[in-house]
Structure formats: structure tokens, C-alpha cells
Structure 1
Amino acid sequence: MGHAAVEQNGRVYRVDASAQTGVSAGGLSASDFDGGALGGRVQREDGRPVPGAVLTLIDQAGRQVARASSAADGGYAITVRERGGYVLIVSAIGHQPAAVNVSVGPRPQHLDLTLVGSGELSGVVRTAGHGVPLSGATVTLTDLRGEVVGAAVTGGDGTYVCHGVVSGVYTLVAVAEHMRPSATTLTVPDSGVLRHDIELAAMAVLAGTAWADGGRAAPDVLVSLLDAAGEVTATARTDENGCYVVTDLPEGQYTVVARGYPPVTGQVTVSGGEVAYDVRLGYEPGDR
């Protein structure tokens, strides 16, 4: 099978082409044609067919020689009476048009064409509740097969744009530092153009103070968080005022362990936002 590179609108498309003496695309055989013929399949980059695509064959003088439309499975067939060189133009709603040089001979020629989407998915990524635009967030678009078909990073104003989108169902995932990831199912219309804003919630924050006997703040105390499996998720030390802060916590239940004589443990449930949890030690700071 041969390949031809077609440049259109600043992008390069790959066209697969191979001469066949038997059955061409759409189940058409050489005996079905009086003269040369073209047949094949119009498809998207993800391999799905493009039905209703318009295929126009013009000669070197720009005159129309033949015209056809792709079927539900993307298959098409064009009969050409005279041999020679032509240009095949393909266009479909929601896709960027493509054009390729073809040479028609005595045998049917198989020519598969891949069209790139002309639509775009855009929007703004903001913080939930406050609505502050998030810069540097990564937005990824995947199709039903899990293949990544688009990605973008938000600018200073929180905007993102994924180009080359076609109609269909997608999963949109947004990720940013200190924020909980977001996944949404989207249906892009036939136009290929859709605006969708995203809100990301901040990861949970656990904060509190370590207190010793007598109500005095305990500085330099190691506070550890264990998840449900008993694994250490995060650690922090109290400052000179006995305060500690643990950021970027997923939701869930944790065991809080504060170094002491003996160590002090407690349970806390993190469900988003900032959670306060004070630790009370069984000793005076000067006793250690």
C-alpha cells in the first residue's frame, strides 16, 4: 500500500492508496466499471467512518469530472471514463476538507481518505466556589476507546482550546496542582464546536494545633497521617506555635498519629475543604 501526504489548511493528512485488481471499497469489482474507477473509504483519524462526505473529482483544468457521496460505512465509488491525472476533493460537515492527486488507469484503484475534525472544544477552568481562573491546568480529551484525541494547558486566564474535534462522545479530564481531578462525559454536536467550562475543587487541608498538658502549645511535634491501609500518607511538624498543616489530601478516613510519650492517635474524616483537628499530648514540652 502506498501513502500520499496531502497538505490542507496548514495540516498534513496521510492518504492510503493501493491499486487493486479485485474488489475495491464498497464491494465493487472491476467488472462493475466501464473505464477506470476510484473506490475506498472516508474515515476519521480514530478509524470511524465519515458518512455523507462529498467527493468531487476535477481534471487539471479545474472542471468537474465526477461527484459522489460516502455511504453509512464511509464507502464510496467514482466511475471515470478517461484515464489520466485528476484531483479528488473530499469535504464533510465538521471536518477539514482534503485534496489529493490521483492517477486513473485501466484498473479500479482503492483510495482510503482520512479527514481531520474542524471543530474545537474550548472553555475556562476555574476553582469551585470562588470561580478564580486556574492557569497551568492540563485538559485531556479521550474518545470512547480511551485514546487521547486532544490536550491543552490553560493560560493565565484559565482558558483552554482543543482543536481538530469532530462530533461524538468524549471524556474530558482536567488536572491541576493542589486540586482534585475532574472527569466529565461530553457529547460534541455535528458542528464539532462546543464550549464547556470546568470547575475544580481544592484538595482537602488538615490543620490543627498540638497541645500539651496544661494547655500549652507543643512545637516541633511530628504529626503523621495513615490511610485506611495503614500506610503513611503525609507528615508535618508543628511550628513554634504548635500549629501544623497537611495539604493535598484526598477524601477519606485517616488515622492521625502525633509523636509523644506515648504517641497519641485519633481518627479524622476528610471530606473536602479545610478540616480542623487538634492533637492533645500527654506530657509537658519540657518533659521530653
Structure 2
Amino acid sequence: MHLPTNQKKPFFRSPAGWATLGTMPVLALGAFLLWPSATPSHAADAQDASAPDARAKYVNRGLFSSGSEEPGEEQAKLITGRVYSIDGQPLAGVQVSATSFAIAGNLPTTVASLDTDAEGRFEMRLADGSYQLVANKGGYGPSFVPAQTGDTVSMVLTKSGVVQGRVLDADRAPMQRFVIDVLTAAPDSFAAPMPLFSKRFEGTNGAFEVDQLPAWPVVIRATAVDHAPAFSPPVYIEKPGDTRDIELQLGDGCVLEGTVKDGAGRPLVDVFVDAEARFPGGVSEVSMEAAARAESDEQGRFRIEHGPSGKVVLRGYDGEHAPSTLVVEVANCQPSKPLDLVMSGGGSIAGVARKGDGTPLPGARLTLMQRAIGFVNVIADEEGEFRFDSIPPGNTRLELLYGHQRTSTSVRVEEGAVTERDITIHPAGQGEIRGRITANGTPLAGVQVLVAANRGRTEGLDIRYPVTDKDGLYKLSGLPEGHYAVNVVTSAKTEGVQVEEGQVAVLDLDIAAPQKTSARDEAE
């Protein structure tokens, strides 16, 4: 079943007041702060045999080191953690996969995958940079979190509901070979999330079943060779074990032909072009990767077979320009305007990374994130100065990393301009938050806790990441006074607490306890 292109209601509206800033439960903090099978994907099986081989010169800028993406001894670092069930038990045999953006900035690609040990632990050695992790195990909802090398990022899995159904062709005959992906939504100011589940199905009746669904709304996508993708409406199964039936119908889709040019109108060769379907979201539109790709030829021409209809986003990547975007309405496979994708130089962001006292922070790590670019990382120089170039126009999220503390803020990039923006690690105070993280009373060791305060539009979000000890205890000292949201990362458990100067605030969280519902949520 296809979503009507004239649908006026938001494509995503989460239960209990979650706007789908939520690519993961930690982003449920958005309501408070206005912030934001792990089996390898088989989506390539759904491509045409003529799909491009990514010869274009795109460079993955999500790595802090330059050169090869293969981690050498001098640049490889670890991401470690544990995976728990919602009742606090370590989960063995959970597949944890890491993705980066090696092909295109909006196209997550798996770079590593492993299984947790008998104690639910994992240790992943990766090139120094930014990644997205997803954890999958049959019968459990997947867990998803962005991470930097050096982080400890434990994850929590809940029991899953089940989606079952059939995939049909345009004549309503059962498809015999197809791929099912579980997709989640994120606003364009965040990196494109990887599929939470991906599996190839084969048979004579077009049947499929997915028993790995998260605790927030998702979209089920079906793809197959020589067909356009089909997207379900948002699916949310609140109770573990409940079943939802859906039917997806694949059609031929549309041929999207056009030309890639530079700013002077000259054709560009070897530009990687992919297509996304665009849907209305809770607070803005969201994009879903449509498994349709091409590469421009010597005349700059590209041809995407079996592309989506409705509102379509075309993105181009070549490594010499900023990632560039063209949005077009496609009705009855007729685009509303010529498909001339103009590759631009984009804009820049430059500034100084500073400590809380205003002094420069040399060697600081800074990350940009946006759907078109994935992650872009730089390291500040000896004077704390940093610069990002070839960034697409629009809103981009900038983060400054310093130990277990981050400052996150939104920056508007303008075409051909340099946006000056200093960013400061928030100063220390005399307050403290401490507590214990449990699941049905069982202490959770090695769990990352996100503690965040909104310091305003100019100063951004003050984010800190303590990790629980062997007894499930966490402690965060040196906090300025203010109101903080405390979230057990990758769980839905978030509560607020007031910190007073020179005082200790105690907040215990049990991830298995029902989430408190605010009056605002009940009103919605």
C-alpha cells in the first residue's frame, strides 16, 4: 500500500507526545530540549544490475584522520559497551553493527559487525571518527545510537511486536524475491539513520515476518529488482507480542532522467546521484532512502530506473563540490521541472572552540551532522580555530566534544558565505546529580547516561555522558544550576531534575518502570 501523495496529516506522529525528532529513544529529549537484523543490509539485492559502483570521488569526512578509511595502528580506536534486555539481563549473541558514510553522505554503509559475548559485552575497533550503531536480536526491538570512537555506549533492547504481511507486484501477484527494511525517521539536521532491520525474503507467496521492531513508529520498506520501493504508513506496536498485518505493492516506478552541472552550466561526469522519497513529518518533512541510484556520464546525464513518485529528493556527490540537492514533484512519472542537478560549492563554518572561561581549546574535536553530509569531523588547531568547508546550505548541527561533555547547537549555512560561529564547552558549577540506574531493581553496569540542559539558542545544549559503575551508580559533579533532562541512553526512560548551586540532586531511574506521562502528552 502506498501513502497518498496528498496526505495532509504528518507521516510520523509518535505516541505519548514523541515528535519524531526520534530516530532513537534518546531523542525523545526533543520534547524537553528541542534536541535531537543488525544483519548487514541486503538493499543492494534490490538494485538494478546496472546500479553504479560508486566510482565517484566522494570522500567520507566522518573520520578524524585523513587518507585511508582502513584503521591503522596509529588511528584505530575502540567503541565499547554492553547490551541489556529491558529487565536488566545482559544479552548474548546480539549483533552490533557500525555504519559510516563511505558512499554518500545520506547513505549509511556497514563498516563492522560483531556479536556480544556471554555477558552482553562488545568491543569494536574502528578508524577514529563518528558512527551509528544498531543492535539486533531475534524477538527484540533494535536499539540505535550515534557514537564516537572512545565512547562507551551500552544499549537496551525491549521485547518486540511482530509485523507480518505480503509483498505483491502491480498485478497483485506475490513477489518471490524481495528485501524488507525497517526504517526510522530523523529531521534533516541529523545524519541519515541506518535501517534498523534488513532481510531478504524468498518464496512463492510473497510472505514476510519481522519480529525486530523498536518502541517507536517505523516504516516498513519493500524493495525488489526492477521495481520501485513501497513504503508502509507508520507502524507502531505498543505491546510486545502483538501482531500487525500489512500489505505492500511494488510497481514499476518512474524513470528520472536529468543532467548534473556545475554552477557555470558545464556537465559533470561521475557524479553519484541517489533518490529519496519525501514525506510530511511531525514538525518538518522527512526523507526515506528509495534504493534508486545512478551516476552521471560524460555528458553529465543520469538516468534512475524505478524511482519513486510524489515529492522526490535527488542528491549528488562527487567529492569536489558540496553535496547538492534537488527537490521535485513527480506526478504520473512527469517531474514538475527539468531535473537539472546543479552542484554547488556550498558554504563554510569557521570559529574558535573555547573552554568555559573563554580561552581557546586547542585540539578540540568538532562534528557537523546533517542528512546530506552524514558526519563531518575536524580537529581545532593550536589556537582552537576550526573550519568546515563545502557544507550544503541550510540548518546543520554542530557539536564540540571535550571528554565526556559536549556542546550542541544549530548553525545556518548560506551558499558561498562563511558563517562565523564560536562554540564553548559550558563552564563548571558547584551542583551535582547522582543516582542509580536499574531495571526491575537490578543495577545496570556500564550504561551511558545522557544529562542535558538547554542553555538557549546562542549557547546551545550542554550535554554530559556519565557511565554507571559496577553497582549501577552514576555521578556527575561540577554542574551549573539549572534544569536537566536525564536519559538512559537507548531507552525511553527520561526524567527532569533541578540542580541548585552547591547542592546534590538525586535521581534514580528504573528503565523497566512505566514512563511518566506529562499533562502536555495527555492533551495530545
Q: Same fold (TM over 0.5)?
A: no
Higher relative contact order (CA 8 A, sep 6+): 2
Q: Normalising by structure 1, what TM-score?
A: 0.39
Larger Rg: 1
Bigger share in strand? 1
Q: Normalising by structure 2, what TM-score?
A: 0.24
